[in-house]
Structure 1
Amino acid sequence: MVAKKLVTVVGATGAQGGSVVDYLLKNKSQEYTIRAVTRSTESAAAKELTARGVEVVRADLTDTAALKAAFAGSYAVFAVTNFWGVFSNAQKQFPEEKDVALLAGQAAAIETQMGINMVDAALATDTLQHYIWSTLTDAYTVSGGRIKPPHYESKAQVTRYIQSKPELLAKTTFVWCAYYATNFAGLTRPIYVPASGQYIQIQATPSEQPIACIGNTRSHFGIFVEAALARPDKTRGGRTVFAFVESTTLGGLLQTWAEAHNVKATYIQVSRETLFSSWPMEVQEFTVGMEFWDMIRDKEWTGKDNFLTYSDLGIDVARLKSVKDSFAELEL
């Protein structure tokens, strides 16, 4: 009997990591065993994973020694960090601080160190054959130094660190997760205006800005990671998998959301100064990222030889839940 390959999943109780676990558990060949890394093995989500046959171990991303123990024996590791959770904690720690750039920068530094800790743990794992790092575009480099969104730069610094380690880079796949449908239930939630009988969505970038969308992250992200694991010769060596199911524009996304809920909606662009004066820090930081995408538009930003999409991985997105159906799952 061939021994099963151990895949260790960081963030297994979150949207991305949870989706990876879901797809690996569905793997028809039962090729893998799964280990979930979590900060609390006693949480309801962790106990649910245990009930599904997943090994659950405790490790904090600030603790390299604990991460080394958690990664021990792994054939593959899926690594992810959560900037928004760290950013929220920074705001709670310094409630009087109103400088979004300062707090976002502090959160980014913490997230970068978490990512580096996982890389160091991976380097110490002698069984490791595949490292999958959930990251984002190197916005500063791609934009020629014109823009540096903290929640992009934090992950890009970890990517650069991996690239400086040839022994790990040879085993690494970078994965970018596109725009979440659930942003429409949070950061970019449309607002109902009773006087007009319709919803409005207020953003600082134009409606014709191109955007790629993953739809329901929990439903879709894991299939891209599973496909990367199944094709190591195609995906390792520092290649990038872009996880999305549909491409459209910001205005197009809003209209798809409106159709999903059978309502009317209008996209309203305002200046960043107006937006920043009246919206919380999370929206301000998110907007800097959207400004980057508006800046580069359809520019080639990774190198075609290193860039893989669903078609390259043999994923039939027509069989997945559409973005419209993903929006329909959200409450108005």
Structure 2
Amino acid sequence: MTITQVESVPLVAVVGATGVQGGSVIKALTESDKPYRIRGFTRDVTKAAAETLKKQGVEMVTVNLVVENKEAVYKAFSGADYAFEVAEGIMLIDAAKAAGVKGIVWSGLVSVKELSGGKYTKVQQFDGKAVVTAHGRASGVPFATVQAGLYASSFRTNPMMLAKQPDGTYAIPLIVKPTTVIPIIHMENDYGLYVRRALELPAFPDGVDVYTGGENITLGEMARQLSELTGKTVVYKQIPIEEFIKPFLALGLPLHIIEAVVEAFQFWEEFGYCGGQISTASKEGLARLPQTWAEFVKSADWSKALA
């Protein structure tokens, strides 16, 4: 445990401290042999996850990250050396710059619209982050992105990613080919390793895009390994778009969200998850190796997902 309150130690401001990405960053920093002060931003400092972080020495700050709350957001970054943001990106970058931080690590993603030549225009979860990245690059503050691969946990918690079939077997039912390659990552456990590496390099990696993942693996191979390691019959099943979107429609999700999910998978199949960019995550210099898909499967509880 290296969290301290000594003022000479770097202060890292982590937005979304009780979430998956922010929580992973704090986990990785607490595993470091280097000391840090950590300021965690959350909407509710009284919830259990925030209380746990406070007991670890994290300074928890209540901040509602909306543009209307700009003054409080700017104040929250006061004195920070480094910042890690996950929401309301442009405002947060401006706030971090105003606070005089030494570097910003942004959980960016590639621009699907740009890399597909305008073919896929509705993947806002990627394109929105790419807009923030452009703003960060132009801010004048040393700026790096640490880009998340596909969450391994989504196959355990999302019934749309792993579904029971009428015959009692299980399928990963998606619209793309089983040969589609995905950079898979155990986000809660491993994402923070890449942020920690960025903070602990001799020089902050200004201008660098870091791609994260335990391994690049095809969806078909994921199904095969899941079946082998759990003892359950799990297959990959490529399904039509019409069948894929039925659960989304049943939940009453807005059309633009459904279209964003569909186009994201189509982009990954045609252009690659990182759109032809270098998508092999570098593990050199990480404090420990991130989990492969097989290692994640072995360590995770599948009792509900494969009930």
Bucket of the pairwise TM-score, normalised by the shorter protein: 0.7 to 0.9
Q: Does 1:51 align with 2:25?
A: no
The match for 2:33 is: 28
Q: Does 1:159 align with 2:133?
A: yes
Distance 2:266 2:178 in 1: 12
Equivalent position to 1:293, from 257, 262, 268 = 268
Shift of 1:182: 1.1
Q: Does 1:230 align with 2:200?
A: yes
Distance 1:249 1:301 in 2: 16
Q: Could you tell me which amino acid in structure 1 is paired with residue 76 of structure 2?
A: A
The match for 2:3 is: none
Identify if the C-alpha distance between structure 1 residues 194 and 145 changes in structure 2 by more than 3 Å, giving closer, same or farther.
closer
1:1-332 equivalence runs, <5 A: 3-30=8-35, 32-62=36-66, 63-81=69-87, 114-126=88-100, 128-148=101-121, 149-165=123-139, 167-168=140-141, 171-184=142-155, 185-186=157-158, 188-195=160-167, 197-214=168-185, 216-231=186-201, 233=203, 236-280=205-249, 281=253, 285-297=260-272, 301-302=276-277, 309-314=281-286, 317=289, 320-328=290-298, 329-331=300-302, 332=306
Distance 1:41 1:278 in 2: 34
SS of residue paired to 1:135: coil
Deviations 1:237-263 (A, max 9, x none): 221111111111111122222223111
- The answer as to whether partners of 2:183 and 2:273 remain within 8 angstroms in 1 is no
Distance 2:211 2:70 in 1: 28
- For normalisation by structure 2, the TM-score amounts to 0.86
Distance 1:189 1:301 in 2: 24
- The answer as to whether partners of 2:267 and 2:273 remain within 8 angstroms in 1 is no
- The answer as to whether partners of 1:77 and 1:131 remain within 8 angstroms in 2 is yes
Shift of 1:163: 2.5
- The answer as to whether partners of 1:50 and 1:56 remain within 8 angstroms in 2 is yes
Identify if the C-alpha distance between structure 1 residues 325 and 308 changes in structure 2 by more than 3 Å, giving closer, same or farther.
closer
- For normalisation by structure 1, the TM-score amounts to 0.80
Structure 1 ranges of 4+ moved more than 4 A: none
What runs of 5+ residues in structure 2 fail to find an aligned partner?
Answer: 1-5
Identity among equivalent positions (%) equals 27
Distance 1:158 1:314 in 2: 26
Distance 1:322 1:182 in 2: 12
Distance 2:259 2:110 in 1: 19
Deviations 1:63-104 (A, max 9, x none): 2221211111111011113xxxxxxxxxxxxxxxxxxxxxxx
What runs of 5+ residues in structure 1 fail to find an aligned partner?
Answer: 82-113
Of Structure 1 and Structure 2, which has the larger fraction of its residues in helix? 1
Distance 1:277 1:46 in 2: 37
